[in-house]
Amino acid sequence: MATTRQPLFADTIQVIQQSITYELIPAEKGGDVVTVLDHPSCSTQGETIDEALSNADDAWLACLLVDKAQGFTIPQALEE
């Protein structure tokens, strides 16, 4: 799995995994807050970058499942 890290600002990191772009920002009390840029209301956190990204994968799947249940169209590439 290819991961690209691209600094945006001094404390912000953008990570691209499997065509999904995540933005990581340090949390006030430690760890990182991560947001799925393609779905800005989908965010989570973790104590490490790896934990935050793992949690983001779970959150992204949950967001897609909720969207599908609510009748929103999910791109076919994401349903595979």
Instruction: Quote the domain boundaries for residue 54.
Output: 3-79
Q: Taking the CB of residue 32, how many other CB atoms lie within 10 A of it?
A: 25
How confident is the model at residue 1, as a pLDDT? Answer: 46
In the chain, the percentage of residues whose pLDDT exceeds 70 is 81
Question: Is residue 62 within 8 Å of 70, Cβ to Cβ?
Answer: no
How confident is the model at residue 28, as a pLDDT? Answer: 85
**Predicted structure pTM score:** 0.75
Q: How many domains does the chain have?
A: 1
Q: State the pLDDT confidence band at 46, using cuts at 50, 70 and 90.
A: very high
Over the stretch 3-19, which tens digit does the pLDDT of each residue have?
A: 555 544 558 888 888 88
